[in-house]
Amino acid sequence: MNGVKSNILSSFFKDINDCKIIPFGSGLIHRTFFLQHAEGDFILQNVNHHVFKKPKDLMENIQLVSNHLKQKNYPKSVLSIKKTLDGNILLQTSENEYWRIFDFISDTQDFSKPESEKQVYQTGKSFGEFLTYLKDLPIEKIKPSIPDFHNTRMRLENFEIAIQKNEFDRVKISTQEIEQIRTWHFLMEDYEALNCPIRIVHADPKISNLLFDKNERVKAVIDWDTIMPGSILHDYGDLVRTMACEEDEESIDFEKVKISPSYLNILEKGFLESTESWLTKIEKDNLLLGAKVIIYEQAIRFLTDFLEGDKYYNTVYTEQNFNRAKNQIQLLDSTLKLS
């Protein structure tokens, strides 16, 4: 059954005779399958415990968020976990694999990048709404799914270590990019000086983590694996990074990699419609700084991975992470010119 052992399915269902399983989606972290069963349609996933080192914490976070949103009458579809026959929200096999099942959210479509101003607005508003409904969930109940995920100082330290080691002899061709990243060190210091509130955030907000209905209205916010304590500025910053540029991070047409002022304004409008009433003045006044810091951090991560031999991000050609870093450096340069 597409590489899924029968003992996995029999942990969730009493009868597995009529199960149909097909690979699903384009995610790079987990192995994901669409599962048809007499009980209904589901999403089956083999959780990548090398990226998410504490899968049980991950699932407890998702269960907490799901219950909270349902109690708050959140107006969109919510991820719903199907428990094992033993009542567990996660299956750990004897081979130390981790498997989970969610109810399938039907009649939806998804997009890998924004195709219209309407989609940009809907994305900003929907993630802002999602954060709004989570703002009164006690933060101490949510565990960090990836510790130090947006620790820019740590990312810079790892970057400098990679330069010093130069294990793959890639520093020489990266000299200009390395110096540019060092020049922008002040962005991290500006952010740290703000002392922003710590809130529950999505931590991977982008259009591909939304499900739209046939009328292009958002039906669900998905991919809750990265939900963790963090800064609203990081969430907004990642929205700008992925939504306010008409070229994506894979583009090597670097001259076209720049912020679209119209997309940026529409994104901010949608986001603030949902969040303006409760964000602090510090947060509202520094949304653009959040974008600069996140783009900066992503440039650091891509270039660090290139220097370390492409260990983290999947690549299909040798200089892909180098080009991704150059793309983000160009995007940051464009963003810095806005103010």
Question: Start-end ranges of CATH 3.90.1200.10 in the chain?
Answer: 117-336
Q: CATH classification of 117-336, choosing from 3.10.20.10, 3.90.1200.10, 3.40.50.720, 1.10.10.60? A: 3.90.1200.10
Checking if the pLDDT of 296 tops 80, the result is: yes
- Work out the pLDDT band at 227, boundaries 50, 70, 90: very high
Three-state SS for 128?
A: helix
pTM for the full predicted model? 0.93
Contact in structure between 185 and 156 (CB atoms under 8 Å) = yes
Cβ-based neighbours of 84, under 8 Å, separated by 6 or more: 11, 12, 90, 91
| φ, ψ of residue 238 in degrees (nearest 5) | -70, -30
Domain 6-103: what homologous superfamily?
A: Phosphorylase Kinase; domain 1 (3.30.200.20)
Question: What is residue 268's predicted lDDT score, i.e. its pLDDT?
Answer: 98
Measure the CA–CA gap between 89 and 59, rounded to whole angstroms.
Answer: 7
Side chain identity at residue 79, one-letter code:
L
- Work out the pLDDT band at 37, boundaries 50, 70, 90: very high
Question: Start-end ranges of CATH 3.30.200.20 in the chain?
Answer: 6-103
Contact in structure between 70 and 76 (CB atoms under 8 Å) = no
Structure tokens at 162: 């990679």
Measure the CA–CA gap between 100 and 90, rounded to whole angstroms.
Answer: 5
Which residue(s) pair with 210 in the sheet? 221
Q: What confidence tens digit (pLDDT) does each residue in 70-90 have?
A: 999 999 999 999 999 999 999
Q: What confidence tens digit (pLDDT) does each residue in 237-272 have?
A: 999 999 999 899 999 999 999 999 999 999 999 999
Checking if the pLDDT of 339 tops 80, the result is: no
Q: What is the mean pLDDT of the chain?
A: 94
Q: Of 22-26, 112-116, 182-186, where does the model show the most confidence?
A: 182-186
Q: What is the mean pLDDT of residues 111-120?
A: 92
Sole residue written with tokens 């909270």: 68
Q: What confidence tens digit (pLDDT) does each residue in 174-183 have?
A: 999 999 999 9
% the chain with pLDDT above 90: 85
Checking if the pLDDT of 28 tops 70, the result is: no
Q: What is the mean pLDDT of residues 89-105?
A: 94
Q: What is the mean pLDDT of residues 178-201?
A: 96
Cβ-based neighbours of 67, under 8 Å, separated by 6 or more: none
Question: What is residue 3's predicted lDDT score, i.e. its pLDDT?
Answer: 59
Measure the CA–CA gap between 194 and 120, rounded to whole angstroms.
Answer: 28
Question: What is residue 190's predicted lDDT score, i.e. its pLDDT?
Answer: 97
Checking if the pLDDT of 2 tops 60, the result is: no
% the chain with pLDDT above 70: 98
Sort strands 31-37 and 91-92 into parallel, antiparallel or unpaired.
unpaired
